[in-house]
Amino acid sequence: MKLKSKAVGLANSVLPVLLAFIIGGIIMIAIGENPFETYGILLGKSLLTTKGFLTTLHYASPLILTGLAIAITFKANIFNMGVEGQMLLGAFFSGIVGAYIPLQMNSILAKIICLTVGVLCGAIFAMVPAILKAYFKVNEMVVTLMLNYAVIKVLEFLATGVFRDLSSGYVSTPTIQQNAMFSRLGSSRITAFFFIAIAAYVVMYFVMNKSKLGYETTAIGKNLDFAEATGMRVHRKILILMAISGALSGLAGAGYMMSDQFKFSLSFSGNPGLGWDGMLIALLGAHSPTGVLIAAVFYAALKTGADNINLYSTVPKEIVTVIQGLIILFLAVKFLHEHTPMTEKLKTFFSKIKISKNREAQ
Amino acid sequence: MNMLGSILYDTVYHSAPIILCVIGGIFAYKANVLNIALEGMMLIGAFVSTLTAYFTHSILLGVLFAVIASSLFGLVFSFFGVTCKGNVIITGLAINLLASAIAGFILIQMKTSNITLSYLNVADLQIKIPFIKDIPLLGKIISGHPIITYISFLGIFLMWLLMYKTKFGIYVRVVGENEDAAKSIGLKTDFYKYAAVMIGAVCCGLAGADLSTERLGLFTNSMTAGRGFIAIAAIYCGSGSPVKSALFAILFGLARSLSVNLSIYAGPASGLFDIIPYIMMVCVLTFVSVLKYKNSKLRGFKYE
């Protein structure tokens, strides 16, 4: 029985992806390209070659964290849309601290300081919507969305004004010091940050599946009134969950800063942004940590693959964004229900066809 | 005096698209389908209107196609959200993402980063109302807006009429308040939900056309800048009443106009003024929420 519900869950994640790929293929045919070739480039290079796969894992690291950040709040039916803002804030300040720490500082200590700053920034910023939600019943979704725009504007202002690196040709903050950078392992792109992300995954796996907090999260998500009536302190749980979410987002930003970007520019998070990607990943992984891990790797493969499409074919890489939107759209609908007896459903489906055929015959 | 005039003129100017989104979103809100796809519908409206106007040189066709495009998005949204009973918030986010993705994709195919209607002089689209335009101050504020701006302010009244004085409006509210009751008296609940979403889609299409073609003659991706979400915030603040919510939309327009007008004097700090509208919305939401629940003895989050 448990196996079956897992299979249904898997099908619910795989079907939307397939559907989105099919529609993406149709679009490619419409603009006169070969979809099979494009998909071959998209996934082949980033998943099937060792170097490509390590690059994929490198890009998956921040996505695992943002995915987990969203998964833990969505599981409790708290819509923390501010992951993008929290991530950017964490990245920005860890970058600033990283740029101004003394060069002779112990490199491990420097990294720990930068990561801590990122985590704290994310968590503290997430407290604003959490307190408003818990004590003033303000809708957290609207607040987090508004704060996203606000924080992007503030960071833009800081990056173009106070903290601008004047020697750089475009708007960016100074590059972080050598001792705050994660160095690459061997010739691959992968850095120690990936293992930090994996460690975060392991911790979150136990928190969400084995701890009291995890069970309470599920209970709040399923029925808030019930959870409250059984005596859970829902207010406090909201604060804790948002803090965890913010901390994970901040960590994602700080790590991405220290392992890939090294300075904050206006296109730091790309389009549509690591936080938004995290939402797709959380949905794709059905809010479970292991699901998030797999989905993040898959999604990072799409992302690195998108660059390969641009290099090796004439299809614009924006097609991947379209496919991403389609995946989310299809993910909103549960195609199969956990308790649907599949065989019976097929039977009724075929009998309906038979009836309609009989009617036509008559 | 001059400053006051331009602040108030800009208030009207910036309120218009948000008011349209608000009155569009209200019906969905009342039908208990939270439509956060307003942003995406507005963006696709803005994009299609500029695209059509670019190729056909006709503003009217542009507006028409904007409404058609956003209605299509509305259909997709209600198909997934209502017929398939999917999660409306996720569907809405998907629509938002999809709108900007489609716009971006087509822009890349056209090998540009934005569409500019070079033949169009937007000043020609502004309507100078006779007589009123000669009144000092007031004339300056009220006259000289493009037509959709006037439609949006008229729309507040129309929506109030539609929601409270017609059978349709009552049925929509019944569906939102108690779906089982609505079903038991034989209302087709899905139909009313579809209709509510579609009204929103049409309004958002208009808002998009206003934002891009009519006001600026230009489209850039992500030009809606969260106006759809601000509209949702305004709806929450006004707890779904058309007039109250529209007032909050105007309040936002005022914040926006203040940030634009004051930033001229601010010098290097002018970038910071852009955050005024967003921060203000959060403060207003909190304030309204505190007032609303001050005397409530209910525990938990039941009446959010």
C-alpha to C-alpha distance for B105 and A306, rounded to whole angstroms: 13
Extract the tokens encoding B106.
């087509």
Q: Do A329 and B76 touch (CB under 8 A)?
A: yes
Nearest to A235 by CA among A140, A120, A121, A122: A140
CATH architecture of A60-313: Orthogonal Bundle (1.10)
* A137 in contact with B, Cβ within 8 Å: yes
Sort out which chain B residues have CB atoms less than 8 A from A30's CB and list them: none
- CB pair distance less than 8 Å for A138 and B289: yes
Q: Does A146 sit within 8 Å of B290, measured CB to CB?
A: no
Of A150, A224, A279, the CB nearest to B275: A150
In chain A, which residues have their Cβ closer than 8 Å to the Cβ of B85?
333
Paired tokens of B300: 């938990």
State whether residue A309 is helix, strand or coil: helix
Of residues A230 and A360, the one with the higher pLDDT is A230
pLDDT score of B303: 45
pTM value is: 0.81
Chain B contact for A318 (CB, 8 A cutoff)? yes
Contacts of B31 (CB under 8 A, 6+ apart): B172, B173, B175, B176, B192, B193, B196, B197
Q: Spell out the residues 6+ positions from residue A245 whose beta carbon is closer than 8 angstroms to its own.
A: A69, A70, A72, A73, A80, A83, A86, A126
Q: Which residues of B touch A283 (CB under 8 A)?
A: 90
Q: Report the alpha-carbon distance of residue B153 to residue B141 in Å, rounded.
A: 14
| Residues B86, A333: C-beta atoms closer than 8 Å | yes
A23, A35, A52, B105 from A309: Cα distances, Å: 17, 11, 14, 14
Q: What are phi and psi of B11, to 5 degrees?
A: -60, -50
Residue A130 to residue A147: CA distance in whole angstroms: 12
Is the pLDDT reported for residue A120 higher than 90? yes
Beta strands B114-116 and B218-220 are antiparallel
Q: Which tens digits make up the pLDDT trace of A299-355?
A: 888 888 887 777 777 777 778 888 888 888 887 777 665 555 555 666 666 676 666
Task: Compare CB distances from A318 to B89, B104, B268 and report the shortest one's residue.
Answer: B104
What is the C-alpha to C-alpha distance for residues A191 and A182, in angstroms, rounded to an integer?
Answer: 6
Contact B84 A145 (CB under 8 A): no
Average pLDDT score, chain B: 79
Res. B304: pLDDT tops 50:
no
Q: Which pLDDT value is given to residue A179?
A: 80
Percentage of residues in chain A having pLDDT higher than 70: 91
Distances from the Cα of A40 to the Cαs of A34, A44, A66, in angstroms?
Answer: 10, 5, 28
| CB-based contact A141 B289, cutoff 8 Å | no
Could you check whether the bond before residue A272 is cis, i.e. omega within 30 degrees of 0?
yes
Contact B105 A160 (CB under 8 A): no
| pLDDT, tens only, B240-296 | 778 888 888 888 888 888 877 777 776 666 777 778 878 888 888 888 888 877 776
Instruction: Determine the residue of chain A that is closest to B108 in CA distance.
Output: A316
3-state SS class at B20: helix
Q: Which residues of B touch A316 (CB under 8 A)?
A: 105, 108-109
